[in-house]
Amino acid sequence: MLEVEFPSDMKQYVGQKVGSSDWLTVDQKRIDDFAAVSGDHNWIHIDRERAKQQMPDGKTIAHGMLTLSLVTYLASQIVRIKQRSRGVNYGQNKVRFVSPVQCGARIRLHRTLEKYDEIEGGARLTYSNIVEIEGVAKPALVAETLTVVYQ
């Protein structure tokens, strides 16, 4: 994990890969829980029996938005800014769901700091994010995300 004292310390990492997360297994419980909170009950996510018949490899797949939401959790394993009051999600510039995450797959995040912008009271950090699926050539997700960190 990359640890820095202040948001301004991130300037030196622009253009660099700042790290990779641990692997995370995306199991059916996590998929079902996401379906419950999002209201997205599409059968490709939650109907194991139908998936056995009609989906590649007979498995359900995670919601793309579930994969995107996991970027926050996985990113917390990559960078820690010690002296900050708070950090907030500022949004996404680009998001692409490249490959489906099948139930039981393991994913991890690779993160590069693309841009550092000073703002009043802190910094806006723009990251490129690649969510890798173990054993799959194409990533699950490619996204450019923005985080605001206040001192």
Rounded to 10°, the helix 64-75/28-38 angle is 110
Residue owning tokens 């820690």: 80
Of the candidates 28, 19, 23, the one whose C-alpha atom is nearest the C-alpha of residue 62 is 28
Tokens of 125: 């950090």
Q: Give the chain's domains with CATH numbers.
A: 2-150 (3.10.129.10)
- The tens digit of pLDDT for each residue in 4-46 reads 999 999 999 999 999 999 999 999 999 999 999 999 999 999 9
Which pLDDT tens digits describe the chain residue by residue (151 residues)?
Answer: 999 999 999 999 999 999 999 999 999 999 999 999 999 999 999 999 999 999 999 999 999 999 999 999 999 999 999 999 999 999 999 999 999 999 999 999 999 999 999 999 999 999 999 999 999 999 999 999 999 999 8
pTM of the predicted model as reported, rounded to 2 decimal places = 0.94
Angle, vertex CA 140, rays to CA 60 and CA 20, nearest 5? 125
* Identity of residue 90: Y
